[in-house]
Amino acid sequence: MAITTVPGIRSEPGRPAPSYPARSQRTSLGRKVRDNLTGHAFLIGAVVCFAVFSWYPMILGVVMSFQRTRRGETTWVGWDNYLRILDDPSFWTAWRNTFSFTLLALLLGYAVPFFVAILLNEFRHAKGYLRILVYLPVMLPPASALFLFKFYAYDPSEAGLFNAILSALHLPTSQWMQSPQMTMPAMVIASTWMNMGGAVLIYLAALQNIPGELYEAAELDGAGIWRRIVNVTIPQTRLILALLAMLQIVATMQFFVEPLILANGAGAEDSATSVAYLIYQHGFFQNDLNGAAALGVIMLVVLAGFSAVYLRLSAKQD
Amino acid sequence: MSVPQYRKAAALALVAGLGLSLTACSTRSDDAGTDAGGKVTITVDCQPVGSQKELLKNWNDDVAEFQRQNPDIVIKSVSVGEQCNNPPDFTARLAGGTVTDVFYGYMTDVQQVLDSGQAMDITEFANKDTIPTWDSIDPALKEVFTDGGKLYAVPVKNYSMGLVYNKVLFQQAGLDVNNPPKTWPEVRDAAKKISALGNGVAGYAEYSAGNTGGWHFTSLLYSQGGQVLTPDGKRADFNNAMGRQVLQNLKDMRYGDNSMGARQLLQWGDLLTNAGAGKVGMFIGAPDATQAIVSQFQGKFQDWAMGPLPGQDGPAKATLGGGEGYFFKKDLSPEQVKAGLKWIAYQKLTPGKGQFDYVRAKPQNYPVGLPQPLLFAGGSEAQKQELELRKANANVDTTNFAVFEANPVPIKGEPRNAQAVYAVLDAAMSGVLTNPNANIDALLKTAEEKVNQLLAAES
């Protein structure tokens, strides 16, 4: 333990200065608080906001998942809500749909922005305009963007944009959101279009941090564009790639607005029901806030599992 | 003030402001009740929104007149949106305990309201003293809002479903506008002729999303004489010949005749938007669907007429009914409950006043003459007065609803746990409307298993 001399106490000649370890620590802490009063005051605001609007509702959600309210009386029911939710006929359908969406979004929504960023990075001219073009959809409110897809692109008649293009190419048209097989790909396409602008900008920033000498050396070694991407670009951006993969999984598993707007909820034969939409159904349409809370906790645990895997992997990488 | 001092002051002000706002959040705005001057104050929701200018003015005029007649009562109006009961908002208000003293709800909300513990028993207060027309109100409607012998709400609206059809399209298709289809095979024939007009017109349109598909499946099943659940409410009862017939009728129209349009997965607003645009020949709905088509979806009253719900081989065996009422928040004082009942009586249950002020509604182009709300019992004094006023002030062609009124179909209520059951049945409806190879038996079997599973988990 460090022993410090208390400032302001004069030592007498021939005698060592008195030392007050405990007090000195207190003083040090007090000084730290005083010195950073402004910072702490601002911190209190953030902490209170998080506590009231984020942590407290989360704790309340967990508590509610073990309770049942009937006739205004709230009672503890143990795991009943969880067992009931597991018995919900749509439970496994919703998880299957959610994992399908997440997987497809990883394949499409994760890879496409990366390659668009590489492409944009290669352009010599009109870079700014192209970036704005790519980022524009992000500025559209998600509901507006999805209504555009619903009424303009995914119209199942020949009048729909995508069907008109397919017709012009003499390809078979699709029922899009009205086909259980096409529901997921259609939602992923719309979601990728809406959200990829942000990811593209982040990838671009990462790409521009890669030293040019690495590419020059690779070229001198005879590496083509694909080898340069595999051996230079991907290793150099792996941290950003891993981070965005994690964020993407966590975000896409909570997809809600896509089924709500594109499929009017559950979609054709339940093909669009997501876990988040099922939570909404239980909470707001089925008089079952406790069941909704239980499903929310299950989802939290699954997402926490993914986050833990990510943290472990990234710690190993570092 | 130096910069560091300024920063400190700003930080302290921020913390103080946050603290105050949190305190404000936790403060109960419990100013309702009786004030020192002996005035009783109640808050009431479902005030029309600002964009509904005439309706809002009517409401405010009613409040002013009521307060003039009852100087000891103060009505505080609250608007909760154009749709007074949007289920997610309503659930949030119930769960948060922020409903008004007197609050609007659907007949299907009774269980949810009771479970939330927000409603009070008003049995001892609801009588002729507080509501002069109380004895004229259909007892079956009071029963809907009664649980365990206790009354929890006052009914203010009631409807039943029939076949709504577009007269203009009927004429263009060479159909008799005064003789709507009375059976489902006749509906199919008419739909085929109407859709042959082309231009994206659907001969018959139907819901299949957002729980509205299950809602209409229920009505279609009732028309066949079926029921969604067994009488004890414990098991599904639609996987039978009647359930199959409902889905087969739809599949035949959708894929056999291609008379239901390409766009499916419709819910309430989607179908009425198409109807308002003149793209729907027929659909099933309540009389006020025509009001929504006109007021919200730019349609015209004169284009629409209504017949009874069709049956399979003859008249429908039954039709789905529904309605709404006003609940009273728990812990109100007896004076507040009486004041609330007086207000409901004035605005919702008195011929010639409020919703029955047909003299006022007529020039405003709000429909007068629709065969609803079916609030008063047949032959009661209030019903006679209401019908006379309706007839004298009708601004819609009542002959458009004459067939519907002349052929009443027995009304059945919604099943237990309606919304959860409807969510399951949506999949069966969307199945036959989006998949040309849909296996009706498999769809019904899956839905039956799901509903049974759901009911078992609930019990």
Regarding whether B305 and B351 lie in a shared domain, the answer is no
Q: What is the pLDDT of residues B109-120, one digit of tens each?
A: 898 899 999 999
Residue matched to tokens 């730290």: A32
Is there a single domain that holds both residue B91 and residue B128? yes
| Mean pLDDT of the B278-285 span | 96
Contact flag B210-A265 (C-beta cutoff 8 Å): yes
Q: Look over chain B and give the mean of its residue pLDDT values, rounded to a whole number.
A: 90
Q: Is A84 an interface residue toward B (CB < 8 Å)?
A: yes
Chain A, nearest residue to B455 by Cα: A88
Q: Is residue B23 part of a domain?
A: no
Domain co-membership, B363 together with B441: no
B167 and B273 assigned to the same domain: yes
| CB-neighbour burial class of residue A40 (10 A; exposed 0-12, middle 13-18, buried 19+) | middle
Segments forming the whole domain that contains residue B413:
162-318+409-458
Count of CB atoms situated within 10 Å of the CB of B133: 21
Residues B129 and B194 in one domain: no
Exposure class string for B330-345: b at 16+ Cβ within 10 A, else e: eebeebbbbbbbbbbb
Q: Which of B25, B430, B445, B449 to probe the A interface (max A CBs under 10 A)? A: B430
A69/B430 Cβ within 8 A:
no
CA separation (Å) from A182 to A142, A175, B254, B362? 20, 8, 20, 50
In a domain, B131, yes or no: yes
Look up the CATH number of the domain holding residue B442. Answer: 3.40.190.10
C-alpha span between B332 and B355 (Å, rounded) = 25
Shortest CA distance from B427: residue in chain A: A269
Query: Is residue B21 assigned to a domain?
Result: no
Based on the fold, state whether residues B192 and B313 are members of the same structural domain: yes
Domain boundary among the residues B401, B417, B432 is at B401
Residue B22 domain-assigned (yes or no):
no
Contact A89 B262 (CB under 8 A): no
Amino acid A108: pLDDT: 86
Q: Searching chain A, which residue's CA lies closest to the CA of residue B428?
A: A269
Beta-carbon separation of A264 and B265 below 8 A: yes
CA gap B430, B91 in Å, rounded: 26
Whether B396 and B413 share a structural domain: no
Q: What residue spans in chain A does CATH classification 1.10.3720.10 cover? A: 91-272
- Does any domain span residue B11? no
Same structural domain, B78 and B91: yes
Task: Return the DSSP state at B49.
Answer: P
By Cβ distance, the residue of A83, A178, A286 closest to B265 is: A178
Contacts of B15 in chain A (CB under 8 A): 41, 44-45
- Contact flag B209-A267 (C-beta cutoff 8 Å): yes
pLDDT tens for the 318 residues of chain A, in order:
333 334 444 444 444 444 455 555 556 777 877 778 888 888 888 899 999 999 999 999 999 999 998 888 999 999 999 999 998 888 999 999 999 999 999 888 888 998 899 888 888 788 888 888 889 999 999 999 999 999 999 998 888 999 999 999 999 999 999 999 999 999 999 999 998 898 899 988 888 889 989 989 998 998 888 898 889 988 998 888 888 888 888 889 999 999 999 999 899 989 999 999 999 999 988 888 999 999 999 999 999 998 888 788 777 665
Say if the Cβ atoms of B200 and A157 lie within 8 Å.
yes
Q: Is some CB atom of chain B closer than 8 A to the CB atom of A157?
A: yes
Nearest to B265 among A41, A71, A263 (CB): A263
Q: What ipTM was estimated for this complex? A: 0.82
Q: What is the pLDDT confidence band of residue B37, given thresholds at 50, 70 and 90?
A: confident
Are B180 and B267 in a shared domain?
yes
Question: Is some CB atom of chain B closer than 8 A to the CB atom of A267?
Answer: yes
Please state the domain count of chain B.
2
Q: Are residues B287 and B273 in the same domain?
A: yes
Q: What is the pLDDT of residues B300-345, one digit of tens each?
A: 888 999 999 999 999 999 999 989 999 999 999 999 999 999 999 9
Of B15, B209, B420, the CB nearest to A264: B209
Residues B301 and B354 in one domain: no
Instruction: Tell me how far apart the alpha carbons of residues A287 and B111 are, in angstroms, rounded to a whole number.
Output: 8
Q: Are residues B151 and B285 in the same domain?
A: no
Of B355, B374, B401, the residue at which a domain comes to its end is: B401
Whether B200 sits inside 8 A of A72 (CB atoms) is no
> What number does CATH give the domain A91-272?
1.10.3720.10
Whether A157 sits inside 8 A of B262 (CB atoms) is yes
Mutate to test the interface with A, among B18, B91, B265 (most CBs of A within 10 A): B265
CA A131 vs CA A122, A204, A211: distances in Å: 12, 10, 21
Q: What pTM, to 2 d.p., does this model score?
A: 0.83
